[in-house]
Structure 1
Amino acid sequence: MKFSISLILTILLFVRCTTNIEADLIVYNARVYTVDSAFTIQEAFAVKNGIFIDIGTSKHILDRYKAKEIIDAKQQPIYPGFYDGHGHSFMLADYFQQVDLVGCKSIQEVINKIQEFYKTHKENKWIIGAGWDQSLWPDKQYPTRDTLDKYFPDIPIFLHRIDYHAAVVNSEALRVAQIDSTITVEGGKIVVDSTNRMTGVLIDNAMALVSKYIPAGNEVNILIKLKQAQDSLFAVGLTSIVDAGLDIEQLELLKKFYEQDSLKIRNYAMIFAEPHNITKYINEGIYESEKLTIKAIKMMADGALGSRGACMLENYSDDSTKGFLLHSREEFETSLAALANSSFQVAIHAIGDSANRMLLDLYGALNLQNRRWRIEHAQVVHPSDFIKFKNYQVMPSIQPTHATSDMKWLEERIGAERAKGAYAYKELLRNYGKVVIGTDFPIEHFNPLYSFHAAVARQDAANLPKEGFQMDNALSREEALRGMTIWAAYGCFQEKKRGSIEKGKDADFVILAEDIMTASTDKLRNIKTNRTVVAGESVYIRQ
């Protein structure tokens, strides 16, 4: 009898085990922040064909499923794959191959870095760099071509300012481009000195007069650079990005690379367009594949605060200019009316309070309640205009590290009163109900935890100021996490496919070494990514 009972139990156990549902991946013994509507915390999940098929307790998942790959998370925190709501993949790809000038404390340090770079890049036909910021220098003055000419008279040089809204070039670059001080540029400026001689500084649209002569590189090299950029993004937990403005050549390359399965990061790519040339893009229609979507038009309303190109209602506090629009109000009005009758989403860069007011009013006149049209950055907003984000249902797309990068000189640039309406993320959230969070890489670092830290602590890399910058506009940790997952997905009409760990959604997730929801704020920036997974495939594992 005992033998018979044992045999029966063995058979029952065997039957139970062999009838478990087949999955590709099981993850258990974790602290899973699902970021669903209730912000539920679970223990385990199962994945099949790149989709979450079940979420629950470890016992439930292990009892019900079997899989070739099973991960014991050992109580590590797991989040939906991080979604960067505003970045620039081609710029980041180029950045890794250029002179890194971020943090240079003087023009001489800039020169020294260029010299070191050129020693190992003699084959380059141009020297390209990015990241200089004159606000960090003793005299706070723009660099000039004369300084570059002294050391590099024969090779063209093009150096982006840290915000990519200004550049300095040398005389050889100006010669190649054949431009002089008599040229006028709509939405841009060729800076001249008191004798009307070009200084080498180009602002906003004027940069294109020179940059169009920089060799683009061949297709193979571009893919190699994009993969390098992708690997860096995976290493910090990013599984999806918004590519905030690409030209047609770049978009065609992305289509080709994704069709060949050469790239794996999910990309919501926006078409960069001038107001006068949107018709051809509207006629071509949207493009959607599993990992690449092209259904948004990106435009630029103004420049940046750092280069005083942002369009303000009143003069800058430290200069006799209001900045400028890159295109006229009438051009925007005409193009937006046409886009309102298309299937495209619209996202427009606006920094200054004047640019933001113009776009809010233009959007509002078009009755776009369900279109999820966006304003990228929304950095300075007049107090009376915040309510328009609610009334007109305009989605704010923000980059929290911009606040902590700019806070040191913000009041000097626009004054204490206007600064109260700058980087007002909580106020934007209160009015719209959601915020898309991104980094604006490579203008800021691509690590989303830097954005998370800046959003909740309002501090820089040194955890300063200790009391936080304008803490009344800090976000809670839940709000910040939603902003870089489900709300970022919502900003791209993808909240039903990704952005949270729920049944039926893409199995994109990240495992961190420590829990960003409970770690002290001074540790947030240094938390490591242990694993990044896209569609159930581990694309990064920390060694």
Structure 2
Amino acid sequence: MKRILLLILVGFFLFACKEKKEVDLLVMNAKIYTVDENFSIRQSFVVNDGKILEIGEFGKLELRYTPEKTYDVDGKFVFPGFIDAHAHFYGLGLQQQKVDLTGTKSFAEVVERIQTFQKKNNSNFITGRGWDQNDWEKQEFPTNDTLNRLFPNTPIIINRIDGHVLLANKIALQKAGISTQTKIEGGEIIQENGKLTGVLIDNAMTLMNKIIPNPTPKEKISALKAAEKICLDYGLTTVDDAGLERETIELIDSLQKANELNMRIYAMVANSSKNVEYYLKKGIYKTPKLNVRSFKVYADGALGSRGAALKKSYTDKDKHFGSLLINPKKFKTLAGKISKSDFQMNMHAIGDSANAMVLRTYDSVLKKQNDRRWRIEHAQIIDEPDFKYFSNNIFPSVQPTHATSDMYWANLRLGKERLKNAYAYKRLLKQTGKIALGTDFPIENVNPLLTFYAAISRKDTSGYPEDGFQKSQALSREEALRGMTIWAAYANFEEKEKGSIEVGKYADFVVLDRDIMTIPEKDIPNVKVLATYIDGKKAN
């Protein structure tokens, strides 16, 4: 009898060993926020061929699998890879090759940074980005007098932080053929005392495009790789790039296929008749790393530069309403054309007038359709009657750090009553059941943990204001995490392949040194990313 039992045990052991499956990776000893439907918390999971194979408890999966690699997280915290639902990935990379003007506290500091840049680079054409007159003691647009004097023969074009205003020196204006007689629809060329100041707003900026040197192929590749490194270090595994030209999309595709770029990109195609016709004819283009299925269109400008289109005049500038950047009739024609395809339309809309136009147009062309997920990018100021238009056809994509960046001066632009319906993320969430979160980088900081912090606290990183800016519109921690993972994936029609740690999905995940779901709110901005994985492989 003992001999028979021994043979059974030996047989069982040999069978168990034979059945133990070889896999690529075992992640163990972790606190894993799966962000599944039940918001389950687990301890281990197995990865094979770049996807999640099984999720379980610490100590059990090891009995069934033989991993090529084991990642003992040592009790740290695992989340699905973060998704930035609205950013400018390629623009971030190009920014690394320009003058960085973010954080400047005066125009004098702007000039100083340009001088330092030029001493180092000796460029024959200077570009830069990041200045914000709202951060200066004198909160007014600068003039180009100093740049004209210091750089009489070198063209300079420097963009405001939001990308909706630029300052150009005299020689740059001359090369672009801009004079006091130049007219533009949907923008503004600012003059003082019959003289150009060098400030161009919204559509007027396009007049400079013909003179700005195009980056070389080497510079483009360098830009994309630089952007990827920054994003991976912050735990991002997918970025929605809001407005790319066909040439850049095809470059990204080639680099991804050559395994030279790992970041997953949701590409919004920049609106032009040429781009629209090409992609409507070609159809949606999808690979494991690239998804091209939407068009990015601008309805208006930005609030900080008073380009956002408002129903009533700006509180701090009487009889000024901002401006629409697209003719409403042309917009409706474009929306109708896209509605007949499977493509999304993703519309930049800041002011209540712009949002009203977009929402009502979306509603009219999508009325007989369902689950189109056409997006309002920013959805920043919504008039009371217009919230009702948000639905499963019309989806909000917002940037929580915009609220905490603008809160110091937004009341000056909008007034107390209008401000109540601005940055209303909780209300938008209640209307739609989901909301996608992003940063709009490089306008804001790349770090998605700052998105999370701003969404739940409505404060800046110094803890101001003590009670939070319009705190009733704050999201819960679970809502914020879903907004930058599974709901962001949903906004891209990608919720079945990413956005949560579930069986069958891509093994995209991030490991943090502290638990953002439980630590004190004030500590969240200092949380560090320990590792970022794409397809179950360490990417940073």
Distance 1:35 1:494, change over 3 A: same
Query: How does the TM-score come out when normalised to structure 1?
Result: 0.96
CA distance in 2, matches of 1:399, 1:109: 28
SS of the counterpart of 1:189? strand
Deviation sequence 1:311-338 (CA, Å, 0-9, x none): 0000000012011100111011111111
The amino acid across from 2:314 in the alignment is Y
Structure 1 residues 97-106 or 305-314, which shifts more?
97-106
Structure 2 residue aligned with 1:454: 454
Calculate the TM-score normalised by the size of structure 2.
Answer: 0.96
Matched with 1:315 is 313
1:357 is matched with 356
Partner of 1:75: 75
Kept after mapping to 2: 8 A contact 1:396/1:435: yes
The range that moved more, 503-512 or 57-66, is: 57-66
| Cα distance, 1:3 vs structure 2 | 10
**Distance in 1 of aligned mates of 2:251 and 2:181:** 37
Structure 2 letter corresponding to 1:329: P
What amino acid is the match of 2:437?
I
Structure 1: which 5+ residue stretches go unaligned?
none
Partner of 2:197, secondary structure, is strand
1:191 corresponds to 2:198: no
Deviations 1:93-121 (A, max 9, x none): 01112111111111111111111111111
Q: CA deviation at 1:139?
A: 1.4
Quote the offset at 1:22 in angstroms. 1.2
Task: Report the equivalent of 2:111.
Answer: 111
Pick the aligned partner of 2:249 from 241, 248, 251: 251
Distance change in 2, residues 1:181/1:248 (3 Å): farther
Q: Is the 2:245–2:275 contact (alpha carbons within 8 Å) kept by the matching residues of 1?
A: no
Question: Do structure 1's residue 163 and structure 2's residue 154 form an aligned pair?
Answer: no
Determine if the alignment matches structure 1 residue 284 to structure 2 residue 285: no
C-alpha displacement of 1:261: 2.2
- Quick check: 1:376 aligned with 2:377? yes
Aligned positions of 1:166-177 closer than 5 A: 166-177=165-176
* Counterpart residue identity of residue 244, structure 1: A
User: 1:217 Cα deviation (Å)?
Assistant: 2.0
Please give the root-mean-square deviation of Cα atoms over the aligned residues, in Å: 1.7
AA aligned to 2:439 is T
Distance apart, 1:17 and its partner CA = 3.3
| Contact 1:245–1:272 under 8 Å retained in 2 | yes
Deviations 1:405-437 (A, max 9, x none): 000001011101111111000000000111010
CA–CA separation in structure 2 for the residues paired with 1:247 and 1:276 = 10
Equivalent AA in structure 2 for residue 106 of structure 1: S
Aligned to 1:51: 51
Cα deviation for residue 72 of structure 1 reads: 1.0
Match of 2:40 in 1: 40
2:225 aligns with 227
Deviations 1:63-108 (A, max 9, x none): 1111110011111110110000001111100111211111111111
Matches for 1:131-210 after TM superposition, within 5 Å: 131-195=130-194, 197-210=195-208
- Please state how far the C-alpha of 1:16 moved relative to its aligned partner: 2.4
Q: Using the alignment, how far apart are the partners of 1:499 and 1:69 within structure 2?
A: 23
Shift of 1:11: 6.5
Question: Any conservation in 1 of the 2:246–2:275 contact (CA below 8 Å)?
Answer: no
The corresponding residue for 1:127 is 126
Code of the residue aligned with 1:151 in structure 2: it is: L
Answer yes or no: is the 8 Å Cα contact 1:86–1:397 preserved in 2: yes
Residue 31 (structure 1) aligns with: 31
Map 1:500-511 → 2, pairs under 5 A: 500-511=500-511
Q: 1:208 and 1:104 mapped to 2: Cα distance?
A: 25
- Does structure 2 conserve the Cα–Cα contact (< 8 Å) formed by 1:275 and 1:335? no
For 2:28 and 2:532, the matched residues in 1 are separated by 16
Cα distance in structure 2, aligned partners of 1:363 and 1:154? 48
Name the amino acid aligned to 1:24.
D
Aligned CA distance change for structure 1 residues 33 and 363 (closer, same or farther; 3 Å): same
Contact 2:241–2:265, Cα closer than 8 Å, also in 1: yes
- Summarize the alignment of residues 329-478 of structure 1 with structure 2, pairs less than 5 Å apart: 329-366=328-365, 367=367, 368-390=369-391, 393-478=393-478
For residues 161 and 515 of structure 1, what CA distance do their matches in structure 2 show? Answer: 36
> 2:465 & 2:313 partners in 1: Cα distance?
28
Q: Identity across aligned pairs (percent)? A: 45
Residue 299 of structure 1 and its aligned partner are, at CA, apart by 0.3
Contact 2:438-2:448 within 8 A present in 1 as well: yes
CA distance in 1: counterparts of 2:142 and 2:4, whole angstroms: 90
Partner of 1:214: 212
Q: Deviations over 1:295-323 (max 9, x none)?
A: 10110000000010000000000012011
How far apart are the structure 2 equivalents of 1:17 and 1:477? Answer: 43
Q: What displacement does 1:256 show? A: 2.1
Question: Structure 2 regions of 5+ residues with no counterpart?
Answer: none
What is the count of residue pairs matched by the alignment? Answer: 537
Shift of 1:348: 0.4
Q: Aligned to 1:411, what secondary structure does the other structure show? A: helix
Distance in 2, Cα, partners of 1:536 & 1:424: 37
Contact 1:33 1:42 in 2 (8 A): yes
Contact 1:393 1:432 in 2 (8 A): no
- Partner Cα separation in structure 1 for residue 350 and residue 103 of structure 2: 23
How much has 1:281 moved relative to structure 2? 3.2
Matched letter for residue 25 of structure 2:
L
User: 1:296 is matched with which residue: 288, 294, 297?
Assistant: 294
